[in-house]
Structure 1
């Protein structure tokens, strides 16, 4: 019999480390799917593999003690957000290194370094635009997080946010318009 994820999430929020471990083991395949999706969107700009991203996310989730999740979907949406921040932190660190962090970066083909740097800049621009969107309309930014980074369907997002599917569709349209203008 599979334990109730919602009950385990509540126990984990109360500080039960064993419950947190059990949640991750039960949802490991979902976390792997999220990580694969996140890394695919980031392209070749990170040195992380799927397993590393899942494990780093787990460590950050453990640090967020007191964080409560209503159910599996909320947990996975939050995990997707954590994964996004891990990738962004890694990119920022690499850019800081490239701009005088003391490390020497040598490539044999300068075209490769330029294309990776352009892709890193693009990923960071999307992140910054999403942060700007969150400051003006938090729910619309949540829709982007859950749909684009978390892979949730419109119905799942609507359930998580307590709105209709049509509202989620309108929010997605607003977000796409905002992001396309912000990224020009």
Structure 2
């Protein structure tokens, strides 16, 4: 099995085949992230885990290709890649929720789906997802590292040791950051 770090470096230098190979090798990890993300959002999007992975792939591929000629590589290792993938999946779900809310508020196009079970679901959690997203954005303004810890742990499913290594801090720092972030988000969501 080729080294992911070597492939990420090659993809960052514009090698499209390396970018494809990275996604192929990490596909199972991306599926796991997507299933986790879909569980957290309920059935509030029209995407399934596979659709979310494929939508994320398009954005991840674009990011890999943008780094060509850049002094700094996009993803130094697997953990950074998966942390970014978690952020991309979070963004995709938020964008879909916002689009659905805009459509509910007078959007001119009717949404058509072939899956009738999805259409029967109550859209009760859209506001909650947006409140969590806004609280996380507010946390990022106050302390970006706390927001990164939340994204990597909650959305990315990374372990404390992996987060510590990715951020270059100790595991104990990650534990304290997680506690602070949970407290902040809890208080922010109560005031909404």
- SS at the partner of 2:152? helix
Q: Following the alignment from structure 2 to structure 1, what is the Cα–Cα distance between the partners of residues 139 and 101?
A: 23
Residue in 2 aligned with 1:35? 34
Residue in 2 aligned with 1:175? 181
Q: Deviations over 1:78-100 (max 9, x none)?
A: 00000000000000000000001
Shift of 1:104: 5.2
Q: State the superposition RMSD in angstroms.
A: 1.3
Contiguous gaps of at least 5 residues in structure 1: 106-111
Determine which of 114, 123, 127 is the counterpart of 1:121: 127
Q: Following the alignment from structure 1 to structure 2, what is the Cα–Cα distance between the partners of residues 9 and 88?
A: 27
Q: Following the alignment from structure 1 to structure 2, what is the Cα–Cα distance between the partners of residues 103 and 125?
A: 25
Q: How many residues align?
A: 175
Q: Following the alignment from structure 1 to structure 2, what is the Cα–Cα distance between the partners of residues 79 and 26?
A: 14
Residue in 1 aligned with 2:61? 62
Map of 1:1-184 to 2, 5 A cutoff?
Answer: 2-64=1-63, 65-66=66-67, 68-103=74-109, 115-116=122-123, 118-184=124-190
Shift of 1:103: 3.8
- SS at the partner of 1:45? coil
Q: Deviations over 1:26-60 (max 9, x none)?
A: 00000000000001100011110111100100001
Q: Following the alignment from structure 2 to structure 1, what is the Cα–Cα distance between the partners of residues 89 and 110?
A: 28
Structure 1 segments, 4+ long, off by >4 Å, are none
Q: Following the alignment from structure 1 to structure 2, what is the Cα–Cα distance between the partners of residues 24 and 43?
A: 25
After superposition, the Cα gap between the structure-2 partners of 1:140 and 1:55, relative to the gap in structure 1 and judged at 3 Å, is: same
**TM value normalised by structure 2:** 0.88
Residue in 2 aligned with 1:109? none
Contiguous gaps of at least 5 residues in structure 2: 68-72, 112-119
- SS at the partner of 2:42? helix
- SS at the partner of 1:183? helix
